[in-house]
Amino acid sequence: MNRLLLVLLGICLVSMVSYAKKENDGQADLIEDVIEEGADDDDDDDENNDVQGANDRQIPAAQQNPCNKKKCNRGEECIIEGDEAKCICQRQCPSELDPRYKVCTTKNVTFESECHLDREKCLCRKKSKECTTRGKKPKLDYYGECIELQKCPKD
């Protein structure tokens, strides 16, 4: 008898939840319909609607910047040639006056910043004449200016 009562209660509970869900879905559809019809429930004038509408419009594919979809490596930047995005070595890095931004490579060469090191790697990888560390393959060793290490005395 108790089991039967529990089963009936469970069925009632499931039915109530299902009914409540259907009612909420109906209200959501009603709200969406009102929004789509453009109902204006505020007292403000619609002077700025044209500006807001312009911001909401999607930019045609022909006018989108192709660099937005292009992934360049470190030390590279995206440029547009014709209609295509192309990665080139970074043309310029910001000047860093703070010595804490300097980096030292495993070949004991100091660069002004990581940007400058990454640009150098790119230039060398693309066999540019601007590459100053040919054959050295610069790799970051530590942050800060390189320290000239003393040779160990021979005993």
pLDDT above 60: residue 52: no
**Mean pLDDT taken over the chain:** 75
Determine contact, residues 120/138, Cβ cutoff 8 Å.
Answer: yes
Average pLDDT over residues 54-63: 58
Q: The whole model's pTM is what? A: 0.55
Domains, in order of start, for the chain: 66-143 (3.30.60.30)
Label residue 17 by pLDDT band (50, 70, 90). Answer: low
Average pLDDT over residues 41-52: 47
pLDDT above 70: residue 106: yes
Q: Count of CB atoms within 10 A of residue 97's CB?
A: 6
User: Alpha-carbon distance 88 to 44, whole Å?
Assistant: 50
